[in-house]
Structure 1
Amino acid sequence: MSERPSRTALFLGYLQIGLTSFGGVNAWARRFFVEKKGWLTEQEYAEVLGIGQVLPGPNALNTAIGIGTYFHGATGAIVCALGLFTGPMVLLAAVASLYDTYGQLPLVRAILTGIAAAAAGMVMGTAVKMVTKLRPSRTLLCIGLAAFTLAALKVRMPYVLLMLAPLGLIAAWRELDR
């Protein structure tokens, strides 16, 4: 570690990360803390990230809290969490205000429909990448397709999880025994 950052530096760092990290906060945070600032070693970041990923809740927030705690205890945790969410919350409030004012205009509706289609495509593309890289068994693939089908039929997510999660766990467990 090259230096110990101040609370202000941590806040500003996470403010920047929160405003620029489209598609993955933790990858940007790693680049910032390890490569750009040198405040953490690769090993230190990996340890905090690992803990953040196994705890319940959003792993980016968990990791930010872990990094803040590492440097400044509870106050460091608070400033990192505030930094991470302040920028996006301000942007979201501004967009929500604009939507409230202009959301019913035909042009805005068309733009939002296009954005929704792009977002849905990104989710499906990510799912395809995961399936091709993970190469699940036929059983697990069928469970995934069943979840997709139930979602398309507008079955509520808790019911889908209650129905399919036990089957997925049993199938994955059986595959470990092979």
Structure 2
Amino acid sequence: MTQHHPGTDEHRPANRGPAAAPRNRAALIAAAREIFAEDGLDAPLSAIARRAGVGQGVLYRHFPDRAAVAAAVLEENVRQIEQAAAAEDATLAGVLGVVSWHLTESAAFISLLHAGAADRRSGAHAYARALSERVERVLRARVPAGHRLAGADDLMLAVAMVSGAVTGPTREERERRVLAAWRLLAVEVGPVRPFTG
């Protein structure tokens, strides 16, 4: 005879069955974006499941590991930067404005840009390194000859330095600090906003 303990099922999300899979996946990605934005790529996966309103088993059915969650969240950021760089009228300043917007929005994106320098062995950080390299490639393609960031390591070092300045309790404060950091490096940056096509 199974004994029922009042209150134990009240904390467990309801099983909505296979029909809920797309909704659960979308909720997990949205929750991961928020959690990673707040706490970076090392945030606990259990916090993502909790925020999405599903159990950890549901998270692992959709994403086998941290790398898969990070990929789903960060791919969109990187794709937006690639689209900004590919636009017909793209300039380095404009693309740096888009990069700066992502820096002010997400601690995970900051982690991504520092992934290339870190010797991390986790799948999430390996994936982040690959995404970071994509960002570097599109930025480097927009650096004019003779620009102050044209040196071999100067571009991503500058981006890393600026990302280190992204602190503050509000988005406005973080943006103010990003722009101040670029100004101190004497690098022109376009409007800090997402790429909208």
**Is TM-score (shorter-chain normalized) higher than 0.5?**
no
User: What TM-score comes out, normalization by structure 2 length?
Assistant: 0.31
Q: Point out the structure with the larger helix share.
A: 1
Higher relative contact order (CA 8 A, sep 6+): 2
| Structure possessing the higher radius of gyration over alpha carbons | 1
